[in-house]
Amino acid sequence: MRTLSLTLDAQLKPQFLRIARAIRSAIHTGQLKAKEPLPSARQLAGQLQVNRHTIMAAYQELVAQGWLESVERKGYRVVDHFPIESSRHAQAPVAVSRAKFQWQLAPQPAIAKTGKAAHEYQYNFAGGHPDIAAFPFHEFKPFMSDCLSRPDPKTLSYGNNSGNSQFIEQIMTYLRRVRSITNKDIISVNGSQEALYIISRVLLQPGAKVAVESLGYRPAWNAFETAGAELVAIKQHAGGIDMDHLTELISSRSISLIYLTPLHQYPTTVTLPVHERNRIYRLAAAHNVAIVEDDYDHEFHYSSQPLAPLAADDPLGLVIYLSTFSKIMFPGCRIGFIAVDASLAPALINYRSVMNHKPNVLMQEAIGRWMQEGAFERHLRRTTKLYQQRRDHLVSELQQYQQGGLDIDFSIPAGGMAIWLDVKRDASELEQYSQSQDVYLLAEAHFHLKPENNRNRHVRLGFAGMKPAQITEGLARVFSFFNR
């Protein structure tokens, strides 16, 4: 039943005119839009506790005035073009002549404003976009539908704020079996971004220092900065982290947290070697510094088994491990999880309870069932193969351009969803040109914490989201830059 809230003027008589005036006023204020259907006379009569004939009289009055029309077998609706009111009917609400309310905003995070969204370009080389069309919606549907067919009131209610228990159980089993992570509590989150925000709020006081990769993931930096933290850039080399620099930072700058993307470094895709992982862990342990390990696309590793996360060998419990379903499913699913030592979990859950209690229970429940049945891992095997083919296609296309004399350079990434391509000239110019050709890609400049370090010679080319033919055509458009 369609409900319509009307403000009635008790002084105005007769009653049908009072109701007609209130409906007209609802049209004036935009509460009722052009062509919008009105409740049936019986429904509105029930809501307003009046006789149905009174409503009919009000509707007919408004038809006569030109505000409503009667549509055969459908009832009454607002007209498409409103009448110009004669002085007899002009009773528009009193115009408020003051300027609009002025908000006093707290300091705002400096989120980069982009023009068109990546997916609005015909060719989208955005670094971490999965192929949403390749997600098996038809396979996932029965699991979602099952949750709706057999709803469990206990699960659907408040409480249990770490997340849906079936989802958590499946994640624990999966992490133990596939990523060698044991001895961690699991907290489900609305994607990694929520995790980063909660962690920042719980662990960082204003002025705290967070060491981050100097080329890195700006949304994480935004979360740390929103908590008042100061970011300190860790130097990188072509194959990982500059350990001497990190050692010096940790020894001299009272760092509270290190944020890393060790498996496929964002944005360069380099895998942090084992000896550097071990040194970082020992360093963090010696100086009592926590590590946030953002493992955002773990499954998509092609050349070998992916290295086990730092969190898999964490006897002190100092690694906070983040993972997301944004790449496995699609970013709009807003599901991820934190795997964390039991000593920190209650504080994180408490903070999240203040924000929004817990993430969407239905989606977690459906994913839990999907994982339990094995369909999740089948999907992972299929997509890993698909993305490997796309990586190989992009690599072979780039090699052909090299053989044709184009001066570009890259390493073949062992995994991930992008290639970090050295274009040996101003990458921002190439980005701008590509966008003019309806191709989305991002230049190195977007990923630098310190603009002064920006040589701006690279672009990040995501390959997962496009079919091979699109990759070929998109690249042709990008590289037409060099033939101008």
Q: In whole angstroms, how close is the CB of 475 to ligand PLP at the nearest point?
A: 22
Which residue, 266 or 387, has its beta carbon nearer to ligand PLP? 266
Give the residue among 466, 482, 407 at the shortest CA–CA distance from 474.
466
Q: In whole angstroms, how close is the CB of 338 to ligand PLP at the nearest point?
A: 11
Q: In whole angstroms, how close is the CB of 266 to ligand PLP at the nearest point?
A: 4
Phi, psi of 138 (to 5 degrees): -65, -30
448-452 contacts at long range (C-beta below 8 A, 24 or more positions apart): 448/214, 448/215, 449/212, 449/214, 449/215, 449/216, 449/221, 449/231, 449/233, 450/214, 450/233
Which residue, 24 or 179, has its beta carbon nearer to ligand PLP? 179
Cβ proximity of 40 and 75 under 8 Å:
yes
Which residue, 57 or 181, has its beta carbon nearer to ligand PLP? 181
Q: In whole angstroms, how close is the CB of 479 to ligand PLP at the nearest point?
A: 25
Which residue, 48 or 263, has its beta carbon nearer to ligand PLP? 263
Which string of b and e fits 242-265 if b means at least 16 CB within 10 Å? ebebbeebbeeeebbbbbbbbbbb
Q: In whole angstroms, how close is the CB of 262 to ligand PLP at the nearest point?
A: 11
- Give 345's contacts (C-beta < 8 A, 6+ positions apart): 162, 185, 187
Which residue, 26 or 290, has its beta carbon nearer to ligand PLP? 290
DSSP conformational letter for 82? P
Q: What is the DSSP string of 207-233?
A: T-EEEEESB--HHHHHHHHHTTPEEEE
Q: Which element (helix H / strand E) includes 243?
A: helix 243-252
Cβ proximity of 164 and 155 under 8 Å:
yes
> What are the Cα distances from residue 18, in Å, to 13, 22, 58, 89?
6, 6, 8, 13
Q: Quick one: tokens of 222?
A: 């935004």
Q: In whole angstroms, how close is the CB of 366 to ligand PLP at the nearest point?
A: 17
**How far is the C-alpha of 441 from the C-alpha of 168, rounded, in Å?**
36
Cβ proximity of 296 and 322 under 8 Å:
yes
Q: In whole angstroms, how close is the CB of 99 to ligand PLP at the nearest point?
A: 38
Which residue, 61 or 295, has its beta carbon nearer to ligand PLP? 295
Q: In whole angstroms, how close is the CB of 298 to ligand PLP at the nearest point?
A: 11
Phi, psi of 186 (to 5 degrees): -115, 135
Q: In whole angstroms, how close is the CB of 190 to ligand PLP at the nearest point?
A: 8
Task: Please report, as ranges, the residues that interact with ligand PLP according to CB under 6 A.
Answer: 128, 191-193, 217, 261, 266, 294, 296, 324, 326, 331, 336
Q: In whole angstroms, how close is the CB of 327 to ligand PLP at the nearest point?
A: 7
Which residue, 296 or 410, has its beta carbon nearer to ligand PLP? 296
Q: In whole angstroms, how close is the CB of 392 to ligand PLP at the nearest point?
A: 22
Q: Which element (helix H / strand E) includes 373?
A: helix 361-373
Which residue, 54 or 364, has its beta carbon nearer to ligand PLP? 364
Which residue, 167 or 266, has its beta carbon nearer to ligand PLP? 266
Which residue, 16 or 370, has its beta carbon nearer to ligand PLP? 370
Give the residue among 161, 110, 168 at the shortest CA–CA distance from 372.
168
Cβ proximity of 77 and 69 under 8 Å:
yes
Alpha helices in 150-183 (DSSP H): 153-156, 165-179
**How far is the C-alpha of 137 from the C-alpha of 108, rounded, in Å?**
38
Which residue, 163 or 336, has its beta carbon nearer to ligand PLP? 336
Phi, psi of 255 (to 5 degrees): -75, 140
